Chains A and B, each alone.
Chain A
């Protein structure tokens, strides 16, 4: 056999082997030749889209540019970030306060951009805390977390932070049902069915300032609420939540919550709930939750503990909530751009059901119910069903839309994205992902107006895709060009933490609104030093307040004496710069917390408790000028009871006060 023949035989063999299992699903296994050009953004050029990606167990949120996949910023949200002083500076500590006290970490699963008239408006992005239930609002003028609200009566806020089409509400739903906060929770765990409840929270969002407030909660049967999406257009006024564990198991859910062939998507008529609220049908309940707000005027956060929510009962107020049977253990719950189609992705189901809003409305009007689930009307499956996508793949999770009549669903188990037509429910295209895809994102893909140039798949496993890094490997995002009929992979890149849901928006919606500096004259921080003349050091008992300034390239004061062991020193650093991109950092030897990064015009405070006598250097950590290395100073710490007087200066080589020998 000559060489060519051997190769042909081998090729035939390969083909033969591939055929029965249909292994390579399509030619997009190979990246096409022009992929690099499609993802290339030349140095100095801007990306076309911002991509806000949840950081999962990092607790943070990252902003990437698309199509380049360049990481622009990691925004600290629920986890401390020593790099930015988040959760370490005195000003930001209150942001992580909860009814449990200071919580330094959480698990951010989903991002949702604010909308007006069902379109992304570029003002805020919301994030959910999946562990200690909270919602955060990030201001896209500063790319900083502006507000965090805790959710009482909840455990594991997963079906969140999805919003209504004018950002009237951002919602939360309990993933782990628990006994409500106002009853005795000291009950046997196996009394789940009697004692555990699932709460949904509707958090109102201020039209102008974005301020969040828990407008009402709905008490529902104890199940696991998983994901949600608001109705839009014709279905505006409704919200849809997927529920699993309708078996109400309290142990080994892997098995015991996978018993039923169908769980539910719960449809919530929130306009009706508003009516009941107005009519006084709500029950005031004593609870405890933190509401934390950051001010760009005082450059400080405040944490307020609140103690009351209004609860509506889904069992008593029969026309708020309806259950729609959905096969099997539904995860994603996605509403198409018209608001007519609700796609449930049963992660253990072999099909994708598509429900019709109009049919559901008729079914409710005609009382086409199959019975009740714990006091909630269950609509007949067929009465709400538009149709099913048959055998689309294994392990459907999430669906996004292109606004051209197509849906894109991720399949975790079979590691692929499947494009299908909503009207005729036919599969149009499929591409493999590398590997085990979770969420998908099309810019505006859950809004009324998608911008369907790209689709990003967020993968849980990367295995052999990148250089190996020990036992833990990166998670990844994979970028597809979906402008043609076929999806085409053009790039993949690692992400921070584990990416869950992400959203993307054309850069024009955000890039022009950026805060570049904080005006020093508007700085209302109580410890601001507006100008070097205002720099001083003040002793109040054992507390020493240093009102310091920073400017390229020195601190004022930069020599401080008279601090004694037992003192608590507060460095309030005001950055006097008024130019873009000139932050200063601040660090001091032995500090048991972190650094500060102070933006132009801002004041931030680092608390330092010296633990020994001696001379301690402090310095600027953020390279600010050619003389950055000179931007430093010293603090002298004397023993407790020392008579060294408090003194401070900049630029004097002889101390004003004579130091004690």
Chain B
């Protein structure tokens, strides 16, 4: 019974694609896998509607604290991580390399969005409209580089430094 209903639901979703003449969604993630996850409700509980300001992940406006002043120690730590795990694809200017340049990113995005995207990129690539538009330009998914929460916070601080926070 359960299976039947889910299948029906899936079929409705399929029918809405209108025979596939629509432009493709921008995932090279397993289509079936994503569907499976959704069917099992693993991504539907707790976060039914995607918040493009916050992104998806463990960070929100209450657990990311950003001060007006730069924490240079954190920014230096962030710069080191950036050199190993980010710089191959992202320039510090506004110029696109593999992915977009970092200049101005802290003005375009909330701190929690940045930290969520760094630590939890795959679901956000599938769900965030702005990221999907970016993906159509870049054609390469930003990989999960296995950064810790602290790493992500330090990178955020380095991005702030890069954007002129003193």
Contact = CB atoms under 8 A, between A and B. Distances in A.
Interface of A: 4, 7-8, 10-15, 17-19, 21-27, 29, 254-255, 348, 350, 391, 393-395, 411-416, 418, 426-427, 429-430, 432, 434-436, 461, 463-464
Nearest to A258: B139
Contacts of A27: 10-11, 14
B41 A10 contact: yes
Contacts of B139: 348, 394-395, 413
A26 B20 contact: yes
Interface residues of B, number: 42
Q: Which 10 A-B pairs have the closest CB atoms?
A: A18-B13, A11-B9, A414-B24, A15-B9, A430-B20, A391-B23, A11-B5, A432-B31, A22-B17, A393-B24
A15 B34 CA distance: 13
Which of A15, A27, A436: most chain B CB closer than 10 A? A15
Contacts of A393: 23-24
Which of B28, B98, B127: most chain A CB closer than 10 A? B28
B6 interface: yes
B64 interface: no
A236 to B, nearest CB: 35
B67 interface: no
B24 A411 contact: yes
Given A7-B5, A14-B13, A22 B33 contact: no
B8 interface: yes
Contact of A24 (B1, B31, B136): B31
Contacts of A4: 1
B35 A435 contact: no
Interface string B13-34: 1101101111111111111111
B44 A14 contact: yes
Contacts of A18: 9-10, 12-14, 16, 35, 38
Interface string B112-123: 000000000000
A412 B28 contact: yes
B8 to A, nearest CB: 6
A397 to B, nearest CB: 12
Interface of B: 1-2, 5-6, 8-14, 16-17, 19-35, 38-39, 41, 44, 48, 96-98, 126-127, 136, 139
Given A24-B35, A29-B32, A432-B31, A11 B14 contact: no
Given A17-B38, A394-B139, A414-B26, A26 B44 contact: no
24 contacts: A4-B1, A7-B1, A7-B2, A14-B9, A14-B13, A17-B38, A18-B10, A18-B38, A19-B13, A22-B17, A23-B13, A23-B31, A23-B34, A23-B35, A24-B10, A24-B13, A24-B32, A391-B23, A391-B24, A394-B24, A394-B136, A411-B24, A413-B28, A432-B32
B74 to A, nearest CB: 30
B9 A12 contact: yes
Given A29-B35, A435-B30, A14 B25 contact: no
A260 B69 CA distance: 42
Contact of B38 (A14, A25, A418): A14
Contacts of B25: 21-23, 414
A427 B20 CA distance: 7
Contacts of A418: 20
A14 B20 contact: no
Contacts of A17: 13, 38, 44
A463 B19 CA distance: 27
Which of B2, B16, B22, B38: most chain A CB closer than 10 A? B38
A267 B40 CA distance: 52
A24 B26 CA distance: 12
A415 B31 CA distance: 8
Nearest to A4: B1
Given A413-B26, A414-B25, 18 more contacts: A4-B1, A7-B2, A8-B5, A13-B41, A14-B44, A18-B38, A19-B13, A25-B31, A29-B35, A254-B98, A391-B23, A394-B26, A414-B26, A426-B21, A429-B20, A432-B31, A435-B28, A464-B30
A104 to B, nearest CB: 31
A434 to B, nearest CB: 6
B31 A29 contact: yes
Contacts of A436: 28
Contacts of B24: 391, 393-394, 411, 414, 416
Contacts of A26: 14, 17, 20
Nearest to B24: A414
B30 to A, nearest CB: 6
Nearest to B43: A17
Contacts of B8: 11
B153 to A, nearest CB: 29
B20 A463 contact: no
Nearest to A393: B24
Which of B16, B20, B22, B126: most chain A CB closer than 10 A? B20
Contacts of A8: 5
A26 B24 CA distance: 12
B4 to A, nearest CB: 9
A255 B98 contact: yes
A464 B13 contact: no
A15 B17 contact: no
Contacts of A24: 10, 13-14, 31-32, 35
Nearest to B136: A394
Contacts of A21: 25, 27, 126-127
